[in-house]
Amino acid sequence: MTLPRIVSRDEWRGAREELLVREKAATRARDALNAERRRLPMVEIGKEYVFEGGDGKATLFDLFEGRPQLVVYHFMFAPEWDAGCRSCSGFVDQIGHLAHLRARGTEFAVVSRAPYTKILPFKARMGWTLPWYSSYGNDFNHDFQVSFEGHDGSADGQSHDSYERPGLSCFLRDRERIFHTYSTYERGLDGLGSTTSLLDLTALGRQEEWEQPEGRASALGAPAGSERVRYHDEYED
């Protein structure tokens, strides 16, 4: 194993300060990229999707749970599989308490193609309480490009009838109308999982006054994002 060089504290501090300059530049670049993401146009969802969850049948509108925004994690769990994807399970393990997202008007849900009768025992095994829905029998996974049929040329050089890939999609609700604002897949999921990283993908962002474009911090008629942070058991719906 090759380890870092051993140096004096002063030499380490100099190297750290030099790196800090580049880290701050990367932060500013990330803020600018997030602003460009919030400026993306959006597409209205006209198709009616019916899912199955813990309370029975649900539409895409129902997945919002009355909130303006929805983040969907496309969890790889095909109908013929006996358990969910290990990598997707690792991603869901790191999702924080949903109260912090919900305080910013954003709901989070997991969607898989497997029937709910397979999802439920696996969810119990993992000890998760977050909302998880089955899209079995509808086109949701195919329409949002996470499930494919008749795929050739995979990594093993073989032909396959179908394949799955992980992804994440963001939606915005304006009364009864639903819009798709953003999606990312595979390596685009790297570094995601925290409340702020998920909010950065949405049209309303963290709802902080410093964010661009202006005018979205007060979109929910509440104080700006950081002023809204509470212990998770102190939020009011």
In this predicted model, what pLDDT tens digit does every residue of 56-104 receive, in sequence order? 999 999 999 999 999 999 999 999 999 999 999 999 999 989 999 999 9
φ/ψ of 12, rounded to 5, equals -65, -40
Q: pLDDT tens, 17-62?
A: 999 999 999 999 999 999 999 999 999 999 999 999 999 999 999 9
Residue 224 scores a pLDDT above 90 = no
Backbone angles phi, psi at 6, to 5 degrees: -95, 125
DSSP state at residue 208? -
State the DSSP H helix or E strand holding residue 122, giving kind and residue range, or none if neither. Answer: helix 116-126
Q: The whole model's pTM is what? A: 0.84
- Residue 169: closest CA among 153, 182, 178: 182
Please give the Cα distance from 176 to 140 (Å, whole number).
19
Query: Under a CB-based contact definition with an 8 Å cutoff, are residues 4 and 16 in contact?
Result: no
